[in-house]
Chain A
Amino acid sequence: MSAADYEVTIGLEIHVQLATRTKMFCGCETSFGDDPNTHTCPRCLGLPGSLPLPNAKAVHFGLMMGLALGSKIAPRSIFHRKNYFYPDLPKGYQISQFDEPLCDGGELGGVRLNRVHLEEDAAKLNHAGGTGRIQGSDASVVDFNRGGTPLAEIVTEPDITSAEQASEWLRLLRVTIRQLGVSDVNMEEGSLRCDANISIRPKGQAELGTKTELKNMNSFRFIERGIKAEVARQVAIVDGGGQVTGETLHFDPRTEAITSMRSKEEAHDYRYFPEPDLVPVVITPDMIEAAKAELPELPLQREDRFIALGVEPGAARTLSWRPELGDLFEAELATDGSQPKALAALITNELLKRIGDGEVTDSKAAPGSLAQLVALTAAGTVSSSGARTVLDTLFASGGDPAAIVEAEGLTAMGGGDELTPIIQAALDANPDVAEKLRTGDMKPIGVIVGFVMKETKGRADGKEVTKVTRQLLGL
């Protein structure tokens, strides 16, 4: 069988560092990039006798996420201890949630959620020498600054069916969380981390195949590549008559190699039990109201609103998934609301092309000038190709669109009279093209349009050129 004969089933587990000022169970500041072990205390070092104190802001952020993701908020949830030994885990257990999480269920972009729960992050291990992993390294040092940072863990149901969908959905989740303002959701800095549970089964088979857990995919690119590599590995195993074994896998983005971290038999028995140092988290209606009050418009809601304004769905998605573009769109629209569709197209096509990998703030276009440009185009004052030239100037140095049109002689040419001699010259210069056009084969019309544009320095309107050409040829 080939890869096309299998269905892929993917569930994601996402860890999001919450952007609280202090850690999940102590008063130390959360930090990134500070000197090692400068944000620690008896609690986050797990010193004997220390006790955890839950961070109310983290609970608030967790509620905001749960509400934004359509979860059921548990009126009472409890923390559990997840027991295992590792040097980055100072207490020998992680305080997490188990069978009574803060948020139950939910849905985002067609993918159902199992839960959203709160927990504490591990510290950061650095391995010197050797492989860069703990086995075989010369020495390992621990930086407890990160230890105890609040995490929200989001677990999806196995509703995702391709690597592309996984990365696309993760982008939606990221922008949704970013919009909530509860996390930086930066994969490179580790404030957004994703593990994937992956299985394949022959098309039509009801039960799911054996799943593997793929870890360490710390960029969107790696997630797509990692999942693809793992699916290919599983297909090769099953095609070869073998069976996939349940194990935890490590994806090396440099070599794209997938290696086993531990088999199912070696899997930890985490010995979960209710954390006796904490009392249950009771969520009052007031807490839910406070979280609701801080919910912004979410990307999917914004997308729907833009579509309702007449914006093309593709542009609506770009504007709402890149909130800074959406904000620009709305600001321009506020100065002139007459052309939402064209304005959205200008921003998501032409402006975005000029921004490239940069930031929206790279554009020097003054507030309102994009909307003005769209209005000038709509009124026929400037052709769409002329408008692109104006946008170049606006982007590079700002200015008034109407003045730029004037100064650069980009005023759109009128119809027939002015164009007729130029088009005639074009037909004369390209007799073979003229012949084809005469037979009704309009494919080479681009040659004529190109000639005219060159002659008029882009002031002509392409549609008008086509129209006049047909008239001249009696078509």
Chain B
Amino acid sequence: MYEGAIQDLIDELGRLPGVGPKSAQRIAFHLLSADPVDVNRLATTMRRVKEVVRFCTTCFNVAEEEQCRVCRDTRRSDEVLCVVEEPKDVVAIERTGEFRGRYHVLGGAINPLEGIGPDQLRIRELMARLSAGTVKELILATDPNTEGEATATYLALLVKPMGLTVTRLASGLPVGGDLEYADEITLGRAFVGRRAV
């Protein structure tokens, strides 16, 4: 235990995701010895992010205005809507350059262990968007894990009466790699999940 301010900083840093006690200590002492200008810039940026960043009122992506950049872009299609869990997933899909539709950020996935059900996610807002009738295809891009699958299945059942095309991202072997570099679990799954060509 250190005295006063430095220990407070270590404790605060240690509360951040992915930062253990050792790293918190290292970062704290780094900040202590860093140029005050740099530290101030960091502090200001952190305050600013809470002041100016908000959630897009349409898709719930992070935004600095009423709507996020994707929703403001008039060149994008309103007919394809991609559902993701978090804003970081929007960034990931944007980097592919393959998608020119709109997004809807749920704010997580169904996870009873953490007390997250449909009501804790932005599903009502999604249904409201879909009821306008403009969207023709709904892409379910939730994570390929248990919770993401459950969320996708739940949404697929929910929108079924609307008669949209509903799609799910393909998963499996990383393309471009060598078969021999896939571990036996991934390769085994891909093998069992093989499809006709």
Say if A and B assemble together: no
